[in-house]
Structure 1
Amino acid sequence: MKRIVVLGAAESGVGAAVLAKKQGFDVFVSDMSTIQEKYKMMLDERQVEWEEGQHSEEKILTADEIIKSPGIPKEAPMVRKAVERGIPIISEIEFAGRYTDAQMVCITGSNGKTTTTSLIYHLFKTAGYDVGLAGNIGNSLALQVAETPHAWYVIELSSFQLDDMYRFRANIAILLNITPDHLDRYEHCMQHYVDAKMRILQNQTPTDSFIFWNDDPILRRELAKRCVPSAVYPFAERKEPGCTAYVESGRLVVEKPSVFAMPQGELSLTGRHNLYNSLAAAQAAHLAGIPTDVIRRGLSDFPGVEHRMERVAIVDGVQYINDSKATNVDACHYALEAMTAPTVLIIGGKDKGNDYEPIKPLVQQKCAALVYLGADNAKLHATFDALGLPVRDTHSMKACVQACRELAKPGYTVLLSPCCASFDLFKNMEDRGEQFKQLVIEN
């Protein structure tokens, strides 16, 4: 019997273990951290052997194949040992793709992928499609394939997931943009990160579709040196030669497979970055055969995504916005660009090799004050203090929100758009956003 070992016992890992067990493999799950009770129950109910707080070499290195959580870097000692033994290492998405013939709509990009994925899923659900939501959001693709299979899946893919995907095929691939992110996981080499993102195109055929932002300079360079086997559908803010989705005379237009248009003012999402997300989603839905009246309705009533430019409350005349999902510099740039009031910006966290220089002019233009939130704020001080703005140094969300209350005047906006990962002070990005919202509302 072939032996499958799963490293990491959170959503993706446990889903992979469930599917592997159903397919008749000998399955073992190992996690260096403590496994959540709900996942222990899922594994126990299906009689899957597991361990926590350690990696037992004698049980792991006997694997025929290892399914690795995207959060585990390739430099992890056990991963290195598995590679030395010649044991293939794949992602949960790669594994799940072997056991379904469903149509795959896959979204990646440095920014906007969660919003675009959620919007496409909303359009498919509005149209009554049999669709699952998976990847970085929703339930594990493997778990859905095992127990609640669908005809379509809308999947958000990170570069980490793409790294360990080899034969998986996206029927509709969407690449929103490529800007510096996660460089600490890519030897601080931008090209390595770019190559990971471009893997979304692997295995596509002429019957498949590739949707991308036509004005992204990195994408332009990469596409010029690659052969794209699928049909291409570029989108842009304005009508450009070859583009199939764009805005013209105040209308969002999608040209193929037939012409669809709607007033830009009817879009539920606002801001330039969200315009790109809406264009990509509309093009994908149109290619999937969703009726144009349903696309228009779905683009108009989409409620948005938690932790992405989420309006929390107005307290003492100050608007508080939770953009905790802004974990890189470009995401913060988009958020600042949308600000129309003097802004107190909350920035900081676990730095991922960030270069903050591109946002300094916008910070100078839009911000009335800065609140640094991180275990180590030295790099932020070195970068932004010279701008001469009022600055506060904080190391907890409670101290951060208190500093914002002292700095913000009526009519101001307090924007949590940190540029950084959250793991120095918080469990994850969601925990950071939830703490922010709770403290804003309570005080």
Structure 2
Amino acid sequence: MKRIVVLGAGESGAGAAVLAKKEGFDVFVSDTSMIKDKYKKLLDDHHIEWEEGHHTEEKILNADEVIKSPGIPKEAPMIQKLMAQKTPIISEIEFAGRYTHSKMICITGSNGKTTTTSLIYHIFKSAGYDVGLAGNIGRSLALQVAEDPHHYYVIELSSFQLDNMYQFRANIAILLNITPDHLDRYDFKFENYADAKMRITQNQTPDDCFIYWNDDPVIKKEMEKFDIHAVRCPFSELKEKGSIAYIEDGKYKLEYPTPFNMEQEELSLSGKHNLYNSLAAGLASNIAGIKKDVIRKSLSDFPGVEHRLEKVCKVGGVMYINDSKATNVDACWYALESMKTPTILILGGKDKGNDYSHIMDLVKQKCVGLVYLGADNKKLHDNFDQLGLPVRDTHNMVDCVKACYEMAKPGDTVLLSPCCASFDLFKNMEDRGDQFKAAVRKL
């Protein structure tokens, strides 16, 4: 019996373990952190051996194959030992793909993944398709394949997941953009990160489609390096040469595989970045054969995504917006670009090798104050204090929101769009956003 070891027992790892057990493998799960009770119960219910708080080497290094959580870096000591002895290491998505023939709609990019994935899922559900939501959001793909299979899966993929995918095939692959992010995981080389994103096209055939942003110079450069067999489906804001999804004369238009149009003002999502997300989602849905009236209605009534430009409430004439998902500089750029009122911007967290020069002009144009929120705000002071804007230095969410309340005037917007990961002060970006919302509602 082949032995599979799963490293990391979150949503991804626990689901992979259940599928591996179902497929007849000898399964062992190991996590150096504490495992959540719901995942312990899932593993126990399926009679899967697990450990938490440490790794037992002799139980891991004898694996025939290892399924690694995307959160574990390749530099981790156990991963290094496995690599040294040439043990195959794969992702949960790669493993799940071996046991299903369902259609895969896969979305990646530095920014907009969650919104686009959620929008496509919304359209497919509205059309009555048998569809599952998986990857970075939704339930584990492996667990769904094992216990609740669907004809279609809409999957948000990070670069970390793509790193350990080899034979998996996306029927519709979407690449929204490539901007610097997670460089600390890629030897601080942007090219390595960009190459990881392009892996979404691997194994595609002429029967598949590759949807991508036609205006992204990095994608254009990357496409010259990779042998892409899928039908190319570029989108752009304007009808650029070759684009088959675009805006023209106030209309949202798709050319492929059949013509579709609707008024741009009917789109539920606002801001330039969301225009790109809506074009990619509509194109994928049109390719999947969803009826035009369903696409039109779904693009009009999609409610949006939590922690992404989420309006919390108005206090004293000031609007508070939670954009905690903005964990890189480019995401913050898109958020600032969509602001229509004077803005107090909350920045800070775990810096991933950020270059803040990209947002300097927008900060000058849009912001009337800055509030830093991090364990160490030195880099923020070094970059932004020179602008001469009012600045407050904070190290927890309650003090941060209090500072914003004191700085903001009626008609202003307070925007949490931190540019950084959350792990210095918070469990994750959801925890950061939830704490922000709770503190604002107590004002």
TM-score bracket, normalised by the shorter chain, equals over 0.9
When normalised by structure 2's length, the TM-score is: 1.00
Query: Cα RMSD (Å) of the superposition?
Result: 0.5
Q: Deviations over 1:305-352 (max 9, x none)?
A: 000000000001100000000000000000001111110000000000
SS at match of 1:66: strand
Match of 2:192 in 1: 192
SS at match of 2:227: coil
Take 1:45 and 1:283, find their aligned partners in 2: how far apart are those partners? 41
Match of 1:179 in 2: 179
Match of 1:211 in 2: 211
Take 1:62 and 1:241, find their aligned partners in 2: how far apart are those partners? 54
Match of 1:410 in 2: 410
Take 2:316 and 2:144, find their aligned partners in 1: how far apart are those partners? 46
SS at match of 1:104: strand
- Tell me whether 1:351 sits opposite 2:351 in the alignment: yes
**What is the identity, as a one-letter code, of the residue corresponding to 1:125?**
K
**What is the identity, as a one-letter code, of the residue corresponding to 1:195?**
D
Shift of 1:85: 1.3
SS at match of 1:435: helix
Matches within 5 A, 1:66-215: 66-215=66-215
Match of 1:35 in 2: 35
Take 1:29 and 1:194, find their aligned partners in 2: how far apart are those partners? 31
Shift of 1:32: 0.2
Take 1:207 and 1:330, find their aligned partners in 2: how far apart are those partners? 33
Shift of 1:241: 1.7
Shift of 1:227: 2.3
SS at match of 1:80: helix
**What is the identity, as a one-letter code, of the residue corresponding to 1:222?**
E
Match of 2:371 in 1: 371
Q: Deviations over 1:99-156 (max 9, x none)?
A: 0000000000000010000000000000000000000000000000000000000000
Match of 1:294 in 2: 294
SS at match of 2:414: strand
Take 1:239 and 1:191, find their aligned partners in 2: how far apart are those partners? 29
- Tell me whether 1:223 sits opposite 2:241 in the alignment: no
**What is the identity, as a one-letter code, of the residue corresponding to 2:92?**
E
Take 1:15 and 1:91, find their aligned partners in 2: how far apart are those partners? 11
Match of 1:312 in 2: 312
Q: Deviations over 1:37-80 (max 9, x none)?
A: 01000000100000000000010001000000000000000000
Shift of 1:435: 0.2
Take 1:337 and 1:301, find their aligned partners in 2: how far apart are those partners? 23
Matches within 5 A, 1:228-247: 228-247=228-247
Take 2:133 and 2:144, find their aligned partners in 1: how far apart are those partners? 9
Shift of 1:298: 0.4
Q: Deviations over 1:402-442 (max 9, x none)?
A: 00011001110000000000000000000000000011011
Take 1:421 and 1:152, find their aligned partners in 2: how far apart are those partners? 31
**What is the identity, as a one-letter code, of the residue corresponding to 2:273?**
H
Match of 2:327 in 1: 327
Match of 2:384 in 1: 384
SS at match of 2:236: strand
SS at match of 1:238: coil
SS at match of 2:237: strand
Match of 1:17 in 2: 17
**What is the identity, as a one-letter code, of the residue corresponding to 1:359?**
I
- Tell me whether 1:430 sits opposite 2:430 in the alignment: yes
**What is the identity, as a one-letter code, of the residue corresponding to 2:359?**
I
Take 1:431 and 1:352, find their aligned partners in 2: how far apart are those partners? 19
SS at match of 1:241: coil
SS at match of 2:311: strand
Worse-matched range after superposition: 222-231 or 390-399 = 222-231
Shift of 1:380: 0.3
SS at match of 2:62: coil
Shift of 1:197: 0.1
SS at match of 1:237: coil
Shift of 1:228: 1.2
Shift of 1:215: 0.1
Take 2:332 and 2:404, find their aligned partners in 1: how far apart are those partners? 18
When normalised by structure 1's length, the TM-score is: 1.00
SS at match of 1:314: strand
Shift of 1:29: 0.2
Take 2:225 and 2:86, find their aligned partners in 1: how far apart are those partners? 32
- Tell me whether 1:275 sits opposite 2:275 in the alignment: yes
Shift of 1:222: 1.1
Shift of 1:265: 0.4
Q: Deviations over 1:242-269 (max 9, x none)?
A: 1110000100000011100000000000
Match of 1:3 in 2: 3
Shift of 1:224: 2.4
**What is the identity, as a one-letter code, of the residue corresponding to 2:330?**
D
**What is the identity, as a one-letter code, of the residue corresponding to 2:428?**
N
Q: Runs of 4 or more off by more than 4 Å in structure 1?
A: none
Q: Which consecutive residues of structure 1, in runs of 5 or more, have no partner in the other structure?
A: none
**What is the identity, as a one-letter code, of the residue corresponding to 2:406?**
E
Take 2:225 and 2:162, find their aligned partners in 1: how far apart are those partners? 20
Match of 1:248 in 2: 248
Take 2:192 and 2:142, find their aligned partners in 1: how far apart are those partners? 27
Shift of 1:172: 0.1
Take 2:308 and 2:135, find their aligned partners in 1: how far apart are those partners? 18
Shift of 1:226: 2.5
